[in-house]
Amino acid sequence: MAKKTFKGRPLLAGNLDGQALASTQPLNTTGSYLENLFAGRTDSAPCTDANNKAFYKKDLSGAIICTTTTVGSSLGGAALMGVGSLGVGPKALLFSEHVDSVSLAGVLMDDVWNERRVITIDQLGDEFLETVKSGDPISIHEDGTVVVG
């Protein structure tokens, strides 16, 4: 596939190459990690949010998550810290829309307090999600540039 470049806003910047896990629906930060948060699973993070058809049952551990934004309980930030501490948090969160304040609080707290970074870029635009598909190679740059393909 032809490479396509998108420019977003780097909130927690970094360089990373990998494969995308994409959904045009939002990531529910609390509802997606229930097996990890409540059953102590540490080998993987199968998405438990049945509302998100693209993510449901997919492994979110170490994933480069491409989505619109995040939704869910106001304890979603704590949930992201929780999965980070279990070693099954995402490696990157790439949002087509503006970041949601709950998830941002969680990744910032984990980044500053525990030096555990989840690269976070927002405002990549609708076309980003129209383009990227799960499994696509993706390259993230510290200036907020994301190359798909």
Partner 1 sequence: MKRRTILKTLPALTLLPAALKVTIVEADEHKAAASKAAGAASKKVELPDYAGKLGYSDGSVTNPDGSTQRGFKDRSSKSQNADPKAPYQMPLTEEELGILKGSKGPEMAKIMAIVVAHGNAFGAEGLVDLGGAPHCSLYTGTDYMKPMIDLFQECADAGLKTYAPYTVNPRCYDVYNVNNNETDMRLIYEGYRYQRDLDWVHAQLGAPDLNYRSCACYVDEVGNAPPPGTYVAWAESSAINYGNSAMGLRTNRNAGGMELLCGLLGKAPLFGLMTDEGRMADWVVEVKTSKAPDLGVLGTAIGLKVIDGVPFITGMEQYLGTEVSNDNMHLLKKMGSATAASGAVGLYHVENLTPDAKQKGRKLIKKDHQTYVYDDAEEARVLGNFPTKMEGRPENPTVALIGCPHNTYKEILMWGKRVTEAMEKRGLKTTAIPTKLFCANVVRDHLVKDEPLLVGKMTEANMRFTNMCTVSYGSMKGFSERIYGVTNSPKTRNYSPWVRYLPDDDIVEVILTGKIPKNA
Nearer to partner 1, 35 or 147 (CB): 35
- Based on the shown chain and the rule CB under 8 A, indicate whether residue 131 belongs to the binding site for partner 1: no
Residues of span 59-88 touching partner 1 by CB under 8 A: 59, 61-64, 68-69, 71-79, 81-85
Residues of span 37-56 touching partner 1 by CB under 8 A: 37-41, 43-46, 48-49, 51-53
The amino acid present at 107, given as its one-letter code, is V
Q: What are phi and psi of 34, to 5 degrees?
A: -65, -35
Nearer to partner 1, 4 or 35 (CB): 35
Site string for partner 1, 85-124 (x = CB under 8 A): x-----x-----xxxxxxxxxx-xxxxxxxx-x-x--xx-
- Based on the shown chain and the rule CB under 8 A, indicate whether residue 132 belongs to the binding site for partner 1: no
Nearer to partner 1, 4 or 62 (CB): 62
- Tell me which residue of 22, 11, 14, 27 sits closest to 139, measured CA to CA: 14
Q: What are phi and psi of 71, to 5 degrees?
A: -135, 175
- Based on the shown chain and the rule CB under 8 A, indicate whether residue 126 belongs to the binding site for partner 1: no
Q: How far is CA 130 from CA 18, 35, 50, 75, 87, in A?
A: 19, 30, 21, 29, 30
On whether the CB atoms of residues 4 and 124 are closer than 8 A, the answer is no
Q: What are phi and psi of 123, to 5 degrees?
A: 60, 40
Residues of span 16-35 touching partner 1 by CB under 8 A: 16-21, 25-26, 28, 30-35
CB of 74 to partner 1, least distance (A): 4
Nearer to partner 1, 38 or 130 (CB): 38
**What residues contact residue 18 under an 8 Å CB cut-off, 6+ apart?**
64, 91, 92, 137, 138
